[in-house]
Amino acid sequence: MVGHIETPAIAVEDALRLETMVNDAKVATEAEHNMSLWQAIKRYPKASVWSLLISFAVVMEGYDLVLLGNFYAFPEFVNTFGTAGPDGTKQIPARWQAGLGNSANVGCVLGLVMNGYLAERFGYRKTMMGALVAMIGLIFLFFFATSLEMILAAEFLCGIPWGIFQTLTTSYAAEVAPVALRGYLTTWVNACWGIGQLIAVGMLKGLLTRTDQWGWRIPYAVQWVWPVPLFLVALFAPESPWWLVRKGRVDEAKRNLRRLTSGSDGSDFNLEQTIAMMEHTHHIEQESVAGTSYLDCFKGTDLRRTEISAGCWIVQTLCGSAFMSYSTYFFTQAGLPTSSAFSLSMGQYAINTGGTIVAWGLMALGIGRRTLYLHGCIWMCITLVVIGGVSLVHSTAASWAAGGLLLAWSVAYQFTVGTVCFSLMTEIPSRRLVIKTVNVGRGLYCVANIVIGSVTPYMLNPTAWNWGGKTAFFWAGFNFFCIVWIFFRLPEPSKLTYAELDKLFEAKVPARKFQQTAVDLFGRDEARIHDSIEEKEDKSVAQHVETL
């Protein structure tokens, strides 16, 4: 149980307002705990639809990043931009592979930093609309590229709005959903990644027979399909009620919450009480969080929350996902025909898309986020060791076996870490610092990707280190360290309200005991109300005695 903390009394008028808010927040919190998944869907159908649509912005990033990694195995792209090796075969040089991938990550870091200020000041909708307008113009750089230098500039500049999409979509989903829906709507972002990846690989496979520049220009032009409809979605979508409450715009928060909910679930839903719960959570965080700057993410209990949010992201990249981004290139270097390599990659990205649905089923069965993260990493670690072992055998059969095992790795990744990360990294931070904390975590993820993106091409490129499938041993080692971190540092946030998470972090509860620890959300405020009323009564008695 979180211990009682003595706090000074407050003015009687404030105490009465606080008493009303606390009572309403109690009822709303209890309703959140008792709300089943089906009730949540019926109560928040519009929130679900708006969240699913907003998250489609991530399709663009998943599409282009996978497009770039697979272009290294795409004949027309390599013929146009590649350099002949000692044997006369053209390759995109390892330094350029590293530079192109890293330029996007550097742009993403800049976009994440900007998002921390823009989304908190202007709201989710306006920030999204601005980023989409920028994307429409920047896609021209890809389409009219005549050199790797132009593609590098395009990757960097497009990385800025991609960085905004990465975290804004998930933060929005986390704030329009009740506890019962939170895990599902936040993890939908991963399905959008998978959709973008699958479209990219499928398009490249369909264009393999083209022997002109349009083989690689058409995939870039397809990126113009998404910004306009997504802009319209953002224009008409409700703003996050949590963001409006943080800004003190409570009446607007009520109107937007009304647009996100429906009365068809048959429950006695009270909009005022739900807003009171948001206000009470904000009230708790105001007392424990001095400010809302990036620096505040590294102070007090928020330092631990930032570490966990960042750790969830970094596990996603250190568990071996670099293999996934370069899968087609890896398959071709392992000796498989180009067409077969693209077919295997399509199977992998189909798993990525469907993995989110499977993860939803596992969460519906009551399996927690922490459990999925831990066992997913164990599965991936074992698979990577086996891939490395198979790659020691140089034969076509071994190459196909490595490809099949990489698909098995993808299953483990997408059912667990690849999907659940998007829920964890938005649930762990405080609401006052959620945008900035998520951005810090994703920024560190991008920095890790810059390092990984610098070495992975050298590992796989036959003109560089030429490790091939033995690279799996390298990532298996990092995967082991991820398992250790998850076991000792990652808490289980499912079924807990944001206010309860605030209290658990404030009390410094160990990660493994979050679900077993009882939380007193309202004791401190009730004590303050009681003290103010007692103080008023004492003054009244004193005045009466004086009169006598």
Q: Per-residue pLDDT tens for 54-78?
A: 999 888 878 877 777 677 777 788 8
Contact status, residue 536 vs residue 10, Cβ threshold 8 Å: no
Q: Is the per-residue pLDDT at 15 higher than 50?
A: yes
- What pLDDT shows up at residue 529? 61
Kindly state the average pLDDT of the residues 168-195: 88
Cα distances (angstroms) measured from residue 469 to each of 104, 388, 392, 462: 26, 6, 8, 12
Measure the CA–CA gap between 481 and 486, rounded to whole angstroms. Answer: 9
Measure the CA–CA gap between 390 and 395, rounded to whole angstroms. Answer: 10
User: What is the tens place of the pLDDT at every residue in 259-287?
Assistant: 999 865 555 678 888 998 998 888 877 77
Measure the CA–CA gap between 418 and 439, rounded to whole angstroms. Answer: 18
Can you tell me whether residue 127 is helix, strand or coil?
helix
Rounded (10°) CA dihedral 137, 139, 143, 145:
90
User: What is the tens place of the pLDDT at every residue in 449-473?
Assistant: 888 877 777 776 666 677 767 788 8
Kindly state the average pLDDT of the residues 117-131: 93
Nearest CA to 8 among 483, 420, 525? 525
Nearest CA to 425 among 285, 297, 242, 286? 297
Nearest CA to 345 among 221, 205, 456? 205
Taking residue 337's Cβ as centre, other Cβ atoms within 10 Å add up to: 10
Can you tell me whether residue 90 is helix, strand or coil?
strand
Measure the CA–CA gap between 203 and 209, rounded to whole angstroms. Answer: 11
Q: Is the per-residue pLDDT at 376 higher than 90?
A: yes
User: What is the tens place of the pLDDT at every residue in 320-368?
Assistant: 877 666 666 666 766 667 777 777 777 777 776 778 888 899 988 889 9
Contact status, residue 311 vs residue 437, Cβ threshold 8 Å: no
- What pLDDT shows up at residue 544? 47
Phi then psi for residue 6, to 5 deg, are -70, 135
Residue 295 has what DSSP assignment? G
Measure the CA–CA gap between 476 and 473, rounded to whole angstroms. Answer: 5
Q: How many residues does the chain have?
A: 548
Taking residue 159's Cβ as centre, other Cβ atoms within 10 Å add up to: 27
Nearest CA to 223 among 138, 293, 308? 138
Would you place residue 11 in the very low, low, confident or very high pLDDT band (cuts 50, 70, 90)?
low
Nearest CA to 243 among 131, 114, 122, 132? 122
Measure the CA–CA gap between 338 and 67, rounded to whole angstroms. Answer: 15
Choice between 290 and 306, residue whose per-residue pLDDT is larger: 306
Would you state the structure tokens that stand for residue 6, as one six-digit string?
């003595």
**What counts of helices (H) and strands (E) characterise the chain?**
25, 2
Measure the CA–CA gap between 344 and 327, rounded to whole angstroms. Answer: 9
Which range in 103-112, 181-190, 231-240, 539-548 is most confidently predicted, on average pLDDT? 231-240
DSSP string, 449-482: HHHHHHHHHHHH-TTTT--GGGHHHHHHHHHHHH
Instruction: Please state the separation of Cα 441 from the chain's center in Å.
Output: 9
Phi then psi for residue 289, to 5 deg, are -115, 115
Q: Which residues pair with 91 in a beta bridge?
A: 83
Would you place residue 290 in the very low, low, confident or very high pLDDT band (cuts 50, 70, 90)?
low
Residue 224 has what DSSP assignment? G
Minimum mean pLDDT range among 126-135, 317-326, 429-438, 503-512? 317-326
DSSP string, 5-55: -------HHHHHHHHHHHHHHHHHHHHHHH--HHHHHHHSHHHHHHHHHHT
Give the orientation angle of helix 369-390 with respect to helix 471-489, to 10 degrees: 160
Determine what percent of the chain is predicted with pLDDT higher than 70: 84
Choice between 264 and 245, residue whose per-residue pLDDT is larger: 245
Contact status, residue 188 vs residue 180, Cβ threshold 8 Å: no
Start-to-end C-alpha separation, the chain:
47
Residue 79 has what DSSP assignment? H
Domains annotated for the chain, with CATH where assigned, are 1-34+500-532 (no CATH), 35-251+274-495 (1.20.1250.20)
